[in-house]
Amino acid sequence: MPKEGITPRAQDYSQWYLDIVQQADLADYAEVVRGCIVFKPNGYAIWEAMQRGLDDRIKATGHVNAYFPLLIPKSFLMKEAEHVEGFAPEVAEVTHASGEELAEPYVIRPTSETIIGYFYAKWVRSWRDLPLLINQWANVMRWEMRPRPFLRTAEFLWQEGHTVHATEEDAERETLVALNEIYADFVEKEMALPVIKGRKTEKEKFAGALRSYALEAIMQDGRALQAATSHNLGQNFAKAFDITFTDQTNTVQHGWTTSWGISTRLIGALIMAHSDDEGLIIPPRLAPTQVVVVPIHKNETERSAVMAAVEQITSDWKGHLRFKIDDREQLTPGFKFNEWELKGIPVRIEVGPKDVQKGSVAVARRDMPGREGKAFVPQAGLRDHITNLLTEIQQNLYDRALRFREEHTFEASSYDELKALVEKGFVRVYWAGSTEDERRIQTEIKATTRVIPFEQPEQSGTCIITGKETKQQVIFARAY
pLDDT tens figures, 24-43 = 999 999 989 989 999 999 99
For residue 285, tell me if it sits in a domain.
no
Q: What is the DSSP string of 53-88?
A: HHHHHHHHTT-EEE---SEEEHHHHTTSHHHHHHHG
Return mean pLDDT, the chain. Answer: 96
pLDDT tens for 44-103 read: 999 999 999 999 999 999 999 999 999 999 999 888 666 567 666 788 999 999 999 999
Q: Which CATH number does the domain housing residue 419 bear?
A: 3.30.110.30
Q: Is the pLDDT of residue 207 over 90?
A: no
Give every strand in the sheet of 100-108, ordered side by side. Answer: 71-73, 100-108, 92-97
Backbone φ and ψ of 459, nearest 5°: -90, 155
Backbone φ and ψ of 425, nearest 5°: 160, -145
Rg (CA), the chain: 25
Domain C-terminal end among 241, 274, 307: 274
Strands 211-218 and 196-199: antiparallel
Q: Which CATH number does the domain housing residue 304 bear?
A: 3.40.50.800
Give every strand in the sheet of 64-66, ordered side by side. Answer: 64-66, 132-141, 155-165, 256-263, 224-234, 211-218, 196-199, 448-453, 473-477, 426-430, 409-411
Look up residue 201 and give its DSSP letter: P
Q: How confident is the model at residue 286 (pLDDT cuts 50, 70, 90)?
A: very high
Q: Give the separation between CA 362 and CA 423, rounded to whole angstroms.
A: 42
Residues 52, 182, single domain; the answer is yes
Q: How confident is the model at residue 3 (pLDDT cuts 50, 70, 90)?
A: confident
Q: How confident is the model at residue 144 (pLDDT cuts 50, 70, 90)?
A: confident
Q: Give the separation between CA 364 and CA 337, rounded to whole angstroms.
A: 10
Q: What is the pLDDT of residue 4?
A: 82
Residues 384, 414, single domain; the answer is no
The stretch 198-207 carries a mean pLDDT of 95
- Domain range enclosing 463: 409-477
For residue 399, tell me if it sits in a domain.
no
For residue 109, tell me if it sits in a domain.
yes
Q: What is the pLDDT of residue 460?
A: 97
Q: Give the separation between CA 214 and CA 278, rounded to whole angstroms.
A: 31
Domains: count for the chain: 3
Residues 118, 181, single domain; the answer is yes
Q: Where are the alpha helices (DSSP H) in 163-255?
A: 168-177, 185-189, 236-241
pLDDT tens for 398-432 read: 999 999 999 999 999 999 999 999 999 999 999 99
Share of the chain above pLDDT 90, in %: 93
Closest C-alpha among 89, 91, 82 to residue 203? 82
Share of the chain above pLDDT 70, in %: 98
Residues 297, 268, single domain; the answer is no
Q: What is the pLDDT of residue 81?
A: 60
Closest C-alpha among 188, 344, 339 to residue 271? 344
pLDDT tens for 240-256 read: 999 999 999 999 999 99
